[in-house]
A and B are shown apart, each in its own frame.
Chain A
């Protein structure tokens, strides 16, 4: 069975590209969310294997969404994404319980697989 994914980003165009890209690579995209609050409710409802989570959301930050999801013991692996690079979020990335970070332009089955594979 393929990995189920929830894509969280406030740009609809990015969500659409990411959906096509991941589905082409064999992932099953089960849902999308445009902000932190709906990300939390969708994750609880859909219980995906993976949450692809943008750091800069219009309401609460991706770091806070990660904290709440992991605290709930949701079981989903969280991978943070941003159009900035990792060096802009040094301390908070280090302190976060997300599985990893991928710059948006680097998003691919290979980069995701590397993070998820390393976590297993």
Chain B
């Protein structure tokens, strides 16, 4: 038997029962209770039963529907003895009439999953049942119906007829009930405060309908204690209160169906996706469809064995017990992505599935783009590591040259000077000449070695920074160069090195090709960017693509996320401008 058929039969049976009950009550005569009261009672009962049955039918695995039906029955059973007076119904009414409120408390905390998850909420729910049944029992054992002008035998559980004890127990029960109600309200309000936007959307109808019912109850209680209010006034507030109570099961039903979310939202998504979303827009669309602004979309990158977002940044999956849940998205059995959504959406796994299916192609598309961006990011990082490693290697070679070969040559140079000074007067002129030549050769070798070291990585750049290094370049230049500004503070070593080599290469090009009479250098660090500019008054017309020197420098600068531009109009000189981020 299908679930729907079963639910349908149950619904038909319940409705039949309700009709039978109503008819029976009418036939029996409604004695001291006015007809409008009967109508209201039946209205509340059928509101709970109807909403419960719809909820049960739409969400068979969720307890909310069953609990609503149970509350409806509990209410009707509690109300029925108003119309049928017998010892049994009188006693049952006392014990049972508040049970539907306890069921409401359980519903409140179990909503929308159907299960209570917090220990405090479970305790409060149990306390509500205890308050309803044990509380009533503790007053009933003292209640003598004769004190209310009713026959003595009506109360089957009368053990100690005592009006004072009854009043005491009744006041105590009222105080406990009020306190319990306040705690329950506080816990619910706190839950509301912590709830995420999608969760609030689901709880809201319940919260508002309960608030309205509470307000109506307070008004009705106040009005019913005012003798000056005419009888139609009492009827009006009672009707208003009952109407508000009738809205409560509808609040639960609307909330529950909201958690299911309109299928039409998925339809809209399909249409939106047809218009080829911009990169990164997919997340926004899914967040909108699932009404979860906190939604995150991760794309599976097999090479990294990780999920990344549209920007290529790795996405962390939520830990167990967090307020977020994960839906794995697969395509032909292969993982393509992950939806990290608010845990409230677990209530509707089929919606998440539908969204995932509708997303298919767009997701695959974005996934590939994200993979590309992740690879680019990796390449960028590795390029910058390569440049840094190359710089470190150049510094090491320069130091090795300095500490090794250079020191030895210096030693030989001093030894030659010593030998020269020890030559006896009138020594063999050939020896004197040989020593002199050796000294000169050695001096050239030393200066070539120094130049070589300087070209590999100038010590002054490491020792004193970009400013002094540029000053030293200017001094060595073969044409007049003006150094207009230099950064006043030290910058990261790769930035200083890149800027230095840009200027060095630019000056070399000026000397080689430009036929300039002078050049100007500007180097300044402003707003986290180092700007380096070398301009000359030469013939211009330089070709940026010619020569590997500048192209290599452009790569080096790009590895630091910087850029190089060359302006070179024939007859108007050349300007090379590099911009390098230098956040410190």
Binding site for B on A (CB under 8 A): 11, 13-14, 17-18, 20-21, 24-25, 83-85, 87-92, 104-105, 107-108
Contact = CB atoms under 8 A, between A and B. Distances in A.
Given A24-B418, A104-B414, A107-B417, 17 more contacts: A14-B407, A14-B410, A14-B414, A17-B418, A21-B421, A83-B402, A84-B459, A88-B459, A88-B472, A89-B460, A90-B468, A91-B464, A92-B463, A104-B410, A104-B413, A105-B443, A107-B414
Interface residues of B, number: 27
B414 A90 contact: no
A84 B407 contact: no
Contacts of B411: 11, 13-14, 17
B479 interface: no
Contacts of A25: 421
A90 B422 contact: no
A18 B417 CA distance: 10
Contact of A90 (B409, B446, B464): B464
B78 interface: no
B124 to A, nearest CB: 73
Interface of B: 402, 406-407, 409-411, 413-415, 417-418, 421-422, 442-443, 446, 450, 458-460, 463-464, 468, 471-472, 475-476
A87 B407 contact: no
Contacts of B443: 105
B378 to A, nearest CB: 38
Nearest to A87: B472
A21 B411 CA distance: 11
In the complex, the 5 A-B pairs of residues with the closest C-beta atoms, listed nearest first: A17-B414, A105-B413, A104-B410, A88-B459, A88-B460
Contacts of B406: 83
B352 to A, nearest CB: 65
A13 B414 CA distance: 10
Given A14-B414, A17-B415, A18-B414, A83 B471 contact: no
Contacts of A83: 402, 406-407, 410
Contact of B414 (A21, A88, A89, A91): A21
18 contacts: A13-B407, A14-B410, A14-B414, A17-B414, A17-B418, A21-B417, A21-B418, A84-B402, A84-B450, A87-B472, A87-B475, A88-B463, A89-B464, A90-B460, A90-B464, A92-B464, A105-B409, A105-B414
